[in-house]
Amino acid sequence: KKKISILMALILPLLLVLSSLCSSCLAAILAFLSEDAQDLDAYTLAKSFYDLKEYDRAAYFLRGCKSQKAYFLYMYSRYLSGEKKKDDETVDSLGPLEKGQVKNESLRELRVELSKKHKAKDLDGFGLYLYGVVLRKLDLFKEALDVFVEATHCLPLHWGAWLELCNLITNKDMLKSLTLPDTWVKEFFLAHMYTELQMIEEALQKYQSLIEAGFSKSTYIISQIAVAYHNIRDIDKALSMFNELRKQDPYRIENMDTFSNLLYVRSMKPELSYLAHNLCDIDKYRVETCCVIGNYYSLRSQHEKAALYFQRALKLNPRCLGAWTLMGHEYMEMKNTSAAIQAYRHAIEVNKRDYRAWYGLGQTYEILKMPFYCLYYYRRAHQLRPNDSRMLVALGECYEKLNQLAEAKKCYWRAYSVGDVERMALVKLAKLHEQLNESDQATQCYIIYIQDVFSCGEILEHLELSTAFRYLGQYYFKSKRYNEAFICAQRCCDYNDAREEGKALLRQISQVRGEADPASTDLSLPFLYGPLSATNTPVRRMSPLNLSSVTP
C-alpha cells in the first residue's frame, strides 16, 4: 500500500505536467526533451520547495540537473537565497556603518558560473535574464545591458527581461542605439519606455496602435494609458480610463494609487471613499491600498491618519517612492516642516529624479520664508520637468519675493508658453507689469488671460477675472477708448468685489462722453470674445524670452 501511494505521488505530478503540456501545444511536446524527462522529479520537488521559499533546499535538489529549466531554477534559487540572506543580515549586522556593506555573497559565484556558460553559448533566454540581473546587482550596468538585449533576442516573450532593460535605459539616445528583436512585444516595451522617459505623446500613439492591432481588451494597456494621461495631467481622460479599467478588472489593486491621486486632485470624496473601502476589502496589506487610504484621509483633512497609512505603505515597501513624497505632503499640511524635509529627502534618496520631492522641498523652504534657499530646489524640479508650468510659476514667485523682477517675468512668461495648468502665470505676469508701470504689456497679459479663461469654457470661479476687467477698464479709459472701457466696466459689474468700481467707471465714461460726443455709443465691439484685431490691442512687445539666462 505504502509503495503504491509513493508511486502515485511520483506519477501524479508527472501526469499533471504532461496533461498540461499536451493541452498547450504540439511544439511544446517536441521541445520536451529527454533531459527534461530525466530531471522532472527533481525539478518538481525543487519547484515545490521554491514555492515555499526554501531556496537553499530547492537548489540542493537541483544541483546535478542538466536540463535548461532545472538549471535556471537552480541558479535562480541560489540567487534568491543570497538576496534573502542579505536582507536578513541587514538586521543582524555588527554596527550601523557595516550595514551598507552587506552584500549578496552568492552574486560573485553566480556571475563566474553564468559567464562561463555564457561564453560557451549555453544559456537560454531565462539563463541570460538571470545573468543580466546578477550583473546589474553587481553594478556592471554596461554588461548587464548587453546581456538583457541578448536575452530579449533569445526569448522575446519574456517580459521580465524587457522590464529590466527598461530600468537600465536612462535616455532617448540610449534607447535608439539598441538593436532589439522585431516582435510585437517590442511595441509594448517601447510604449512603456516612452512613458518612463516622459515622452507621453509617443507612448499614447503606441498604445493606440496596439489596441487597434487586437489588444483592445488588455487591462494592462488601459492602465498604462491612464497612467500616461495622469503624467501629462490630462485628468479627465485619465479618470475615464481608470473608470473603464475598474469596470473591466474590478479586483485590480495595481495602479489604483495613481487613480486615487487623480480623485484627490479633483476632490472627488465619495468616489475616493468608495475606492478605498473597495480596495480594503480586496487586500488591506498592499502598498497601493495604504496609499489610497492615505489619500482618502488627506482629502478629509485627517492628516495624522493619512501620514500613518503612508508609513504603513513604507513598511510594506521602503522603496515605494510615491509614499515618501505623499508623506512629505502630509507633514507639510501638519506644518511639521522638519519631518516633511526628512520624508522628501528619503524620496530623493530612493529616486533622484523624483521632481515632486524636489518641488516639495522647495515648498517647505518657501513656507519657512526662505525664498532664495528654495530656488535651488525648484530649479532641480524644473530641470527634471522642463515643461511643467508649476515649477516655473513657483520659481517666478520666488524671484518676485527676492525682487528679481526681470527673472520673475521670464519665468511667468515661460510658464505661460509651456501651457499653464493653473492659469495663474499670466495674471501674475500682468501684475508684475502693472507694478513696473508697463501698462501696455499688462493690458496684453490681461486680455490673453481673459480670452484663455473664456475660451476653455470652464465655469470655474476665477477670482482674478474681476481684477483683469477692472484694470482693462481703467486702461482703456485712460487711453480714451471709451467703447472698450465701457464694455469692461460692464463686465466688472458682474463681480461682487468690483461692482462699485465698475459702476463708478461707467459713470465717469458717460460723463466724459456727454462732454465730448454723446452720439457715439457703438457697443458692437465684442473684442474680448472675437479674435484680436490689430486695431484694438496694444502691440505685443514681449518676445519668448530665453530662460537659460534665468538659472545661473
Pick 290 or 465: Cβ nearer another protein:
290
Interface pick for another protein out of 30, 94, 456, 519 (rule CB under 8 A): 94
Q: Which of 9, 26, 30, 97 binds another protein (CB under 8 A)?
A: 97
Residue 487 backbone dihedrals phi, psi, to 5 degrees: -60, -45
Q: Are 225 and 257 in contact (CB under 8 A)?
A: no
Cβ-based neighbours of 265, under 8 Å, separated by 6 or more: 235
Q: Which residue number, 125 or 502, has a Cβ lying nearer to another protein?
A: 125
Q: Binders of another protein among 385-414, rule CB under 8 A?
A: 402, 404
Q: Give residue 494's Cα distance to chain centre.
A: 40
CB of 365 to another protein, least distance (A): 8
Can you tell me the distance from the alpha carbon of 201 to that of 216, in angstroms, rounded to the nearest whole number?
19
Nearer to another protein, 79 or 476 (CB): 79
- Least distance to another protein, CB of residue 84, Å: 6
Q: Which is nearer to another protein, 63 or 116 (CB)?
A: 116
189 touching another protein, by CB under 8 A: no
Closer Cβ to another protein, 339 or 418, answer by number? 339
* 279 phi, psi to nearest 5 deg: -65, -35
527/118 Cα distance (integer angstroms):
73
Name the burial class of residue 102, with classes exposed (0-12), middle (13-18) and buried (19+) by CB atoms within 10 angstroms of its CB.
Answer: middle
Alpha carbons within 13 angstroms on the beta-carbon side of residue 60 total 5
C-beta of 26 vs 97, nearer to another protein? 97
Binding-site member from 90, 208, 243, 351 for another protein (CB under 8 A): 90
Q: In the complex, what is the shortest distance from the CB of residue 418 to another protein, in angstroms, rounded to a whole number?
A: 25
Per the listing, cell 563566474 goes with: 112
Q: Is 1 in the site for another protein (CB under 8 A)?
A: no
Tell me: does residue 549 bind another protein (CB under 8 A). no
| Residue nearer to another protein on the CB measure, 41 or 54 | 54
Alpha carbon distance 88, 105 (integer Å):
13
Cβ closest to another protein, residue 139 vs residue 461 = 139
Q: How far is the CB of 140 from another protein (least distance, A)?
A: 7
Contacts with another protein by CB under 8 A: the residue count is 65
DSSP string computed for 77-128? HHHHHHHHHHHHHHHT-SSGGGGGG---THHHHHHHHHHHHHHTT---HHHH
Residue 499 in the binding site for another protein (CB under 8 A): no
State the Cα–Cα distance between residues 231 and 202, nearest whole angstrom. Answer: 13
Which residues from 48-87 bind another protein, rule CB under 8 A?
80, 83-84, 87
For residue 512, state whether it binds another protein (rule: CB under 8 A): no
Q: Do the beta carbons of residue 313 and residue 290 sit within 8 Å?
A: yes
Burial class (CB in 10 A: 0-12, 13-18, 19+), 207: buried
Among 122, 182, 254, 422, binds another protein (CB under 8 A): 254
- Nearer to another protein by Cβ, of 108 and 277: the residue is 108
Closest CA to 432 of 452, 411, 462: 411
Roughly how many angstroms between the first and final C-alpha of the chain, as a whole number? 85
**Half-sphere CA count of 162, side-chain side, radius 13 A:** 19
- 146-175 residues in contact with another protein (CB under 8 A) are 163-164, 167
518 binding another protein? (CB under 8 A): no
∠ CA 458-462-464 to the nearest 5 degrees?
145
- Contact between 517 and another protein (CB under 8 A)? no
Residues 6 or more apart whose Cβ sits within 8 Å of residue 343? 324, 325, 327, 328, 331
| CB count in 10 Å sphere of residue 419 | 12
Instruction: CB nearer to another protein: give 60 or 373.
Output: 373
When binding is defined by CB under 8 A, the residue of 191, 228, 314, 384 that contacts another protein is 314
Q: Which of 133, 193, 262, 332 binds another protein (CB under 8 A)?
A: 133
- Applying CB under 8 A, does 327 fall inside the site for another protein? yes
Nearest distance, CB of residue 372 and another protein, angstroms: 5
Q: Of 359-378, which residues contact another protein (CB under 8 A)?
A: 361, 368-373, 376-377
211 DSSP 8-state letter: I
Q: How far is CA 453 from CA 19, 160, 226, 229, 438, in A?
A: 65, 47, 26, 22, 23
Residues 334-353 that bind another protein (CB under 8 A): 337-339, 341-343, 345-346, 349
Binding site for another protein (CB under 8 A): 80, 83-84, 87-88, 90-101, 108, 111-112, 115-116, 119, 133, 137-138, 140, 163-164, 167, 254, 287, 310-311, 314-320, 323-324, 327, 337-339, 341-343, 345-346, 349, 361, 368-373, 376-377, 402, 404, 552
